[in-house]
Amino acid sequence: MSEMNEFDENGPEVIKRFMYVNRKAPYGTIYALECLEVVLVAAAFDQDVSVVFLDDGVCQLKKNQDTTGIGMKNFSKTYGALDDYDVEKIYVEKESLAARGLTEDDLVIPVEVLAADDLREVMAQQDVIISS
Amino acid sequence: MSEMNEFDENGPEVIKRFMYVNRKAPYGTIYALECLEVVLVAAAFDQDVSVVFLDDGVCQLKKNQDTTGIGMKNFSKTYGALDDYDVEKIYVEKESLAARGLTEDDLVIPVEVLAADDLREVMAQQDVIISS
Amino acid sequence: MKFAILINEGPFTHQASDSAYRFTVAALARGYEIYRVFFYNDGVYNSNRFSEPQTDDRNLVSLWAKLGKEHDIDLVVCVAAGLRRGIKDEVLEDGFRISGLGQLVEAGIQADRLVVFGD
Amino acid sequence: MKFAILINEGPFTHQASDSAYRFTVAALARGYEIYRVFFYNDGVYNSNRFSEPQTDDRNLVSLWAKLGKEHDIDLVVCVAAGLRRGIKDEVLEDGFRISGLGQLVEAGIQADRLVVFGD
Amino acid sequence: MLHLINKSPFERNALDSCLRMARPGSAILLIEDGVYAALAKAAHAEKIISRMDDFSFYVLGHDVAARGLNDAPLIEGIDVVDYEGFVDLVAEHDVTQSWL
Amino acid sequence: MLHLINKSPFERNALDSCLRMARPGSAILLIEDGVYAALAKAAHAEKIISRMDDFSFYVLGHDVAARGLNDAPLIEGIDVVDYEGFVDLVAEHDVTQSWL
């Protein structure tokens, strides 16, 4: 119960580190969109929010998405709102990008590209990890 | 439209070769169970039915399943009913079994174990392929 | 030539229903007949009349119902898959009907092509 | 210690809801508090009161409702995910409540552990 | 036979299994997240490039565009089709198998 | 950190990604279809065996039994737990990450 006491002592001022992990491609499944919807809500809470894209999740950020042909909403522009919501810790795994033949220039928003060895340390420092 | 005419000429006597393809493990998802439910219904139609297990689908036939701990229905015994329903063409890919460290002796029902090279030819002779 | 369509996933969560819808529209445009669309597994959720997506998003339940009405397409929801998932007459959108798995097998027999959309 | 549970998949189709249920029962047996169970993505389907599995199968909707009642667990269905999937008050099982995504974030803040079950 | 692949080759084994089990001479159409297999500069490109003689490969252009891949080079020799082209492929082949 | 793997290593890349991203010293619990990764005689066994020094591996026994694997040898050194053991693992580690 030590965590609980610690939490109670610090009261409402405690800030937790929340990380949202995206590993899935957009459009084939809804997880990318519904994770983004969580992050936008989470931004309103005074917590330390970071968003990670690895594996096929890096494809969510690809520029030039045009969904008119598949009849689905193009939500890639919404990632640009993360900055307005003060979500500034956005990490992309370098190896996942490279495996897909993509570079930082292919992405819709500025991100911090980290090698797996560095991203591992960032992930290990979180208090809550939400994946979808 | 040649197929339609051909079909109409032969009328209701036409027998099609239906193959049901299982590539997913049991319990983690419902596809194995709901595919089996289709096959049992399909057996009542006078068609040529075959069932294939490859990739993780071979795990559906593993002996000694005991689902009491996970609270789900053990449906592995139902595969034994396939024979009662005159579904006799049951194929298992040899390579998929081997990759999982399994052998024919591990399976709940007698099957025809085929190497990919032979199963490929069986699959290529079907009229309708239903996967889930 | 007659096509049958099998949809194994619900709306929104997987692209299966979207792909099947666009495929069906294109098949009709090419002059083919759609013998039946069969909704199985989570596909039964495509008939839930309470579905209410955001106003700028597509509504797959309405899209299927409308397409079915316009082209007289048989939209069949599996009774067994529907029961366990709570898709029954109480929630069924107009234009869909609930029936047994035999309707899928029969579609496979009657149609010249069966195309499966799933996860 | 307080646990929060996030369920991302519907009943039956994936094992997520079963695993989360057994985990929750075990956590209660260990004397932990369940701060909240949040149903997101297809997880919202776990609250569909029309779900009627075969009589020899488990009914996850009732199981959750019953567990919630017995242990006073807050069972929250996401309003946004529910709306697009047709999970609204009209189909909601007693014992669940519909609310916003903030309830998930708040659970992450208040609980000592958050465990995610999905596909 | 026409084979449909709707899964990313990075996430799932559907493409691998299809390439193992499909009879040479078959057509393979990449749709939905399956279109990532068509990326020429991706690590998995060799899987398809090495089988160009065995199969006719197609990719659904609408799914390519949706994912922002119109500016990314696709593997040479993969034909881009639209939904009507998808319908034509189904009509031209006796059987369609989906690798779900 | 506790990592949860609920996917078959034959079908998906979840285990690979977890093994790449998890910090040595972490615990990894295999549940649901993830338990196939524990099979000692399976082709993928080496993935885990080669990392036994880096991680503590656990497998949910109920999921093993459900899949009929009680008679199949599991990789030596993987601890079998029940649901209460699963709860204990979550309680013992500050954070749990699910590799969905």
Q: Name the residue among A52, A37, A29 with its Cα closest to residue A128.
A: A52
pLDDT at A12: 55
Q: Which value does ipTM take for this structure?
A: 0.96
Q: Which of the other chains make 3 or more beta carbon contacts under 8 angstroms with chain D?
A: A, B, C, F
Q: What are phi and psi of B114, to 5 degrees?
A: -125, 140
Helix (H) or strand (E) holding B2: helix B2-10
Environment class of B120 (CB within 10 Å of its CB; exposed 0-12, middle 13-18, buried 19+): middle
Q: Where are the domains of chain B?
A: 15-131
Q: Alpha-carbon torsion D52, D54, D59, D62, what sign?
A: positive
Angstrom distance (rounded) from CA C85 to CA D46: 9
Q: Which of B30, B70, B73 has its CB closest to that of D13? A: B30
- Given a cut of 80, is residue B76 above it in pLDDT? yes
C-alpha angle E77-C27-C71 in degrees, rounded to nearest 5: 165
Interface contact B23-E21, CB threshold 8 A: no
Q: Which residue of F has its CA nearest to A52?
A: F21
E64 closest CA partner among E96, E42, E21, E32: E32
Whether E77 shows a pLDDT value over 80: the answer reads: yes
- Looking at per-residue pLDDT, the higher value among A14 and B25 belongs to B25
Q: How many CB atoms lie within 10 A of CB C54?
A: 11
pLDDT-based confidence at residue B44 (cuts at 50, 70, 90): very high
Q: What is the dihedral of CA B79, B80, B81, B85, to 10 degrees?
A: 100
| Cβ–Cβ under 8 Å, residues D116 and F90 | no
Residue with tokens 């290529």: B124
Cβ pair B2, B106 in contact under 8 A: no
Tell me if F100 and D29 make a contact (CB, 8 A cut-off).
Answer: no
**Residue ranges in chain D modelled with pLDDT below 70:** none
**What is the CATH code for A15-131?**
3.40.1260.10
Count of residues making up chain F? 100
DSSP element (H, E) containing F27: strand F27-30
Residue in chain E nearest B31 by alpha carbon: E100
Report the b/e string of D9-45 with b at 16+ CB within 10 A: bbbbbbbbbbbbbbbbbbbbeeebbbbbbbbbbbbbb
Q: Is C58 on the interface with D (CB under 8 A)?
A: no
Tokens of D80: 């946004």
Output the CA–CA distances (angstroms, integers) from residue B105 to A75, B111, B113, D119, in the order listed.
51, 10, 11, 31
- Of the pLDDT bands very low, low, confident and very high (cuts 50, 70, 90), residue B13 is low
d(CA A85, CA F48): 41
pLDDT along chain F (100 residues), means of 10: 98 98 98 98 95 98 98 97 98 98
Average pLDDT, chain E: 98
- Smallest Cα distance from E73 to chain B, Å: 31
| pLDDT greater than 70 at residue B10 | no
What is the pLDDT at residue F77? Answer: 97
Strands in C2-7's sheet, in edge-to-edge order, are C96-99, C75-78, C33-39, C2-7, C113-117
Binned at pLDDT 50, 70 and 90, residue A111 comes out as very high
- For residue A104, pLDDT over 50 is answered with yes
- The rounded distance, in Å, linking the Cα atoms of F69 and F61 is 9
Using the predicted structure, report yes or no on whether residue A10 has a pLDDT greater than 70. Answer: no
Could you tell me the pLDDT band of residue B12, with boundaries at 50, 70 and 90? low
119 residues of chain C, pLDDT tens digit each: 999 999 999 999 999 999 999 999 999 999 999 999 999 999 999 999 999 999 999 999 999 999 999 999 999 999 999 999 999 999 999 999 999 999 999 999 999 999 999 99
Q: Are the beta carbons of E57 and E81 closer than 8 angstroms? A: no
Whole-number pLDDT of residue E78: 98
Q: What's the token pair of residue C25?
A: 């529209």
Q: Assess whether C78 carries a catalytic annotation.
A: yes
Above 50 in pLDDT, residue E96? Answer: yes
Do the Cβ atoms of E68 and A64 come closer than 8 Å?
Answer: yes
Dihedral angle at the C-alpha atoms of C90, C94, C100, C102, nearest 10 degrees?
180
User: Which pTM was predicted?
Assistant: 0.96
SS3 per residue for B17-83:
EEEEEECCCECCECHHHHHHHHHHHHCCCCCEEEEEECHHHHHHHECCCCCHHHCCCCCHHHHHHHH
CA distance F45 to F76: 10
- Candidate list C78, C87, C98, C107, residue with the active-site label: C78
According to the CATH classification, is domain D2-117 in 3.40.710.10?
A: no
Domain covering F2-98 in this structure, CATH number: 3.40.1260.10
Q: Is the pLDDT of residue A3 over 50?
A: no
* Structure confidence at residue B123 (pLDDT): 97
Q: In chain B, whose CA is at the least distance from the CA of C110? A: B7
Residue B9 pLDDT > 70: no
Tokens of D74: 């807050």
DSSP string, D48-110: BTT----TTS--HHHHHHHHHHHHT--EEEEHHHHHHHT-SGGGBPTTEEEE-THHHHHHHHH
Pick among B24, B27, B29 to test the D interface (most D CBs inside 10 A): B29
What distance in Å separates the CA atoms of residue C84 and residue D55, rounded to the nearest whole number? 10
- The pair of three-digit structure tokens given for residue E42, joined into one six-digit string: 């991706």
Distance of CA F53 to the CA centre of its chain: 14
**Would you say residue A102 has pLDDT above 50?**
yes
From C101, C103, C36, C111, select the one nearest C67 (Cα to Cα). Answer: C36
Interface A:B, ≥3 CB–CB pairs < 8 Å: no
